[in-house]
Chain A
Amino acid sequence: MKSQAKKVCPTEALLTTPSLLWLLAFFAVPAGLVLLLAFRPADLHGGVGSGWSVAAIKAASDPAYLPIWWRTLWMSGVSTLLCLLVALPMGYHLARMPRRWQGIMVLLVVLPFLTNFLIRVFAWKSLLHPDGMVCRGLIAMGLMTEEQQLLYNAGAVVVVMFYVQLPFAILPLYAAAEKFDFGLLDAARDLGAGAARAFWEVFIPGVRGGLVAASLMVFISGVGQYVIPQIVGGVDTEMIGNKIAQRVFSDRNLPEASALSSMLLLGVLALMIANSLRRRLMAKEGPGV
């Protein structure tokens, strides 16, 4: 019943208003306000002063933030790569399972994602803790000494990020693989490609849409991370999210936090716009994602 008309009829306007208005008021407008607050002076009581100022922007552009931005990008990048590396074969495997099993497997993938986020991070903290199972085990096997630490370093942050984000990578890749015509792989094998070659040259291009969606989801959720580095990371693993949280909750400097958030927000939006442009371009060129 997709209406062909481009004109908005009263019924449509009436039914659209509630959700549209809510999301405008509590999502779009607030996002705009963040950009606006970046140009306000801070006041001493943790609020926002009147008038305009570029002080917050200047503070947020301090070169001291550069290493933190860099760390944010590379840690997100590494965890994205790890996620794709694991999610690709898993998406492939899930899509080839019998229908009944696919539903159950998707459920098993979604379950950890729906488990309380803090609890999952906490579980890892207990595991990696010097008195936890992993450390005890490694020491018992002689692979680690009492002085060494598994927690509070970049490795711990990346592992936990990978753990938390993996479902975001598996689900879009599974969705793409499910639509993939596996007969094409047989055709490639028939034409002389080996299993690995067929996977690489036929399957991967076939699920390109899911691959891009998965990378974006994981990477964007990575750069916005701050709880994981705060709980399992140390001083030298802080990400930009930690800085934003510190500006808000410790320094009570809302304008500087807004300035940093604006940069992050614009970066995220740029990625998403680039992606939608890419998709529009692909749609023009022909079918396929």
Chain B
Amino acid sequence: MKRSWGPLIVTLLVLVFFYAPLVVLVVNSFNESRFGGTWEGFTWKWYEKLWSADEVWAALVVTLKVAVSATLAATVLGTLAAWVLRSYATRLQGAHHGLVMLPLVVPDLLMGMALLALFVSVGMETGIVTIWIAHVTFCISYVTMVVLGRLRDFDTSLIDAARDLGASPWRVARKVVLPILMPGIIAGALLAFTLSIDDFVITFFVSGPGTTTLPLRIASMMKTSRNLPIINALSSLLLCITFIAVTLSYRLNRPASNS
């Protein structure tokens, strides 16, 4: 059949549209010029300045602490949630499913506002713990979604087979279910980790005076134009990390039949 060119052109334009701003940003991180309107020569100096910007590295430490611990908790909770959602068809799971999926749709602003309302109401001081709670909350939904996707291809007769061959429910979980789901769980965890590192809006609502994550630091740096090229350099590094994480997760979560 004759193919129309319209959709192809749109697709190519969208890819250019998606990546052009990011490419310009990376290029400008090596640009002598402060605003990057014109190329004034190659330089490493913004990376050098970034290297000596201690407040950035302090923020990175906070971000990593939150991201690692929130990812761990959300991965356990989300995997469990996906498993029960797949295994049972009760009314309870209907409500459970709704509760898991809502955070994916409700705007970050409202989620931040709601968590702030909670912490103010119970008199909890905002800080690294409240940030951790917030991150676990939104990460659960993403982990559940990814693992559920993996579970859709999961052949439940494997569980019957394992029990038929003498495995107790606990051993079925350890020897059959977990190994098969592991790529999906890792992909979910990587997604949660990326989202936790990136989150600005919700974190902004629930952070305390002493705890600044990397996105919060970037936001405050953006207010002074002196810092703009340093943000370019930092952004380029973060882009690299995200690209690596996402590519890794993609390779892991490819359907097993491809192997």
A and B touch in the complex (CB under 8 A): yes
Residues of A within 8 A of B (CB): 1-8, 12-13, 15-16, 18-20, 22-24, 26-31, 33-34, 36-37, 47-48, 86, 89-90, 92-94, 96, 103, 105, 107-112, 114-120, 122-127, 129, 131-133, 135-136, 163, 166, 170, 186, 189, 195, 216-217, 220-221, 223-227, 231, 241, 244-245, 248, 254, 257-258, 261, 264-265, 268, 272
Report which of A28, A89, A127 forms a contact with B21, defined as CB distance below 8 A.
Answer: A127
Is residue B32 within 8 Å, beta carbon to beta carbon, of the partner chain?
A: no
Contact among B1, B84, B235 with A123 in the assembled complex (CB-CB below 8 Å): B235
CA distance A27 to B74 in the complex (A): 14
Distance between Cα atoms of A2 and B87 in the complex (Å): 5
B146 CB, min distance to chain A CBs, angstroms: 12
Given A6-B91, A34-B114, A109-B18, are A27 and B102 neighbors across the interface (CB < 8 Å)? yes
Known contacts A89-B10, A268-B106; A114 and B194 CB within 8 A of each other: yes
What are 23 contact pairs spanning A and B, CB under 8 A?
A1-B156, A12-B84, A12-B88, A12-B92, A19-B78, A20-B92, A22-B137, A26-B136, A27-B114, A117-B198, A120-B22, A122-B25, A126-B28, A132-B37, A133-B24, A136-B38, A166-B17, A186-B1, A224-B106, A224-B108, A226-B109, A241-B109, A248-B113
Q: Which of B1-55 contact A (CB under 8 A)?
A: 1-4, 6-8, 10-11, 14-15, 17-19, 21-22, 24-25, 28, 34-38
Q: Does B58 contact A (CB under 8 A)?
A: no
- Contacting pair B106 A16 (CB below 8 A): no
Query: Once the chains bind, are B18 and A223 in contact (CB under 8 Å)?
Result: no
Q: How many residues of B contact A (CB 8 A)?
A: 93
Look across to chain A and name the residue whose beta carbon is closest to the beta carbon of B199: A117
**B61: Cβ under 8 A from any A Cβ:** no
Q: Are B93 and A16 in contact (CB under 8 A)?
A: yes
A2 to chain B, nearest CB (A): 5
B84 surroundings in chain A (CB, below 8 A): 12, 15-16, 19
- Most chain B CB atoms below 10 A, which of A5, A26, A166: A26
- Residue picked from A2, A27, A29, most chain B C-beta under 10 Å: A27
Expressed in whole angstroms, the Cα–Cα distance for A120 and B84 within the complex equals 37
Whether B90 pairs with A12 at a CB distance below 8 angstroms is: yes
Contact of B35 among A7, A109, A131 (CB under 8 A): A131
Contact partner of B11 (CB less than 8 A), chosen from A93, A136, A195, is A93
Q: Closest approach, in angstroms, between the C-beta of A108 and any C-beta of chain B? A: 6
Given known pairs A22-B137, A23-B100, A27-B137, the reply for A15 and B80 (CB within 8 Å) is yes
Does B144 lie at the interface of the complex (its beta carbon under 8 Å from any beta carbon of A)?
A: yes
Does B136 lie within 8 Å of A27, measured CB to CB?
A: no
Measured between alpha carbons, how far is A126 from B27 in the docked complex, in Å? Answer: 12
Contact of B35 with A231 in the complex, beta carbons under 8 Å: no
Chain A's nearest CB lies how many Å from the CB of B192?
11
Say how far B83's CB is from chain A's closest CB, in angstroms.
7
In the bound complex, what is the Cα–Cα distance between A248 and B207 (angstroms)?
Answer: 13
Q: How far is the CB of A159 from the nearest CB of chain B, in Å?
A: 10
- Are B254 and A18 within 8 A (Cβ)? no
Assuming the contacts A90-B11, A122-B222, A189-B1, asked whether A265 and B242 have C-beta atoms less than 8 A apart, the reply is no
Is B188 located at the chain interface by the 8 A CB criterion? no
B35-A129 in contact (CB<8A): yes
Given contacts A117-B215, A118-B200, A248-B116, 17 further A-B contacts (CB under 8 A): A2-B87, A3-B89, A12-B90, A19-B80, A26-B137, A33-B114, A33-B117, A37-B120, A93-B8, A103-B250, A110-B246, A114-B242, A126-B36, A132-B36, A227-B200, A241-B107, A254-B117
Check if B113 sits within 8 Å of A257, measured CB to CB: yes
B219 contacts partner chain A, Cβ-Cβ < 8 Å: yes
Instruction: Using CB atoms, name the residue of chain A closest to B144.
Output: A19
The answer on a CB contact under 8 Å between B25 and A123 is yes
Q: Residues of A contacting B113 with CB < 8 Å?
A: 34, 244, 248, 257-258, 261
Q: How far is the CB of A37 from chain B (nearest CB, A)?
A: 5
B185 CB-CB contact with A under 8 Å: no
Q: Which of A23, A96, A135, A223 contacts B99 (CB 8 A)?
A: A23
Could you tell me if B83 and A107 are in contact, using CB atoms closer than 8 angstroms? no
Expressed in whole angstroms, the Cα–Cα distance for A218 and B19 within the complex equals 20
List the A side residues contacting B83 at CB < 8 Å: 15
Instruction: List the A residue with the shortest CB-CB distance to B28.
Output: A126
CB pair B35 A22 closer than 8 Å = no
| Bound-complex Cα distance A30 to B137 (A) | 12
| A-contact 0/1 string along B113-146, CB 8 Å cutoff | 1111110110000000000011011001000100
A30 touches B117 (CB 8 A): yes
Pick the most buried of A19, A115, A163, A225: most chain B CB atoms within 10 A of its CB: A19
Q: Are B88 and A3 in contact (CB under 8 A)?
A: yes
Among residues of B, the one whose C-beta sits closest to the C-beta of A230 is B219
- Are A107 and B247 within 8 A (Cβ)? yes
Interface 1/0s, chain B 176-192, versus A by CB < 8 A?
00000000000000010
CB of A88, distance to nearest CB on chain B (Å): 9
Does residue B68 face the partner (Cβ distance < 8 Å to A)?
no
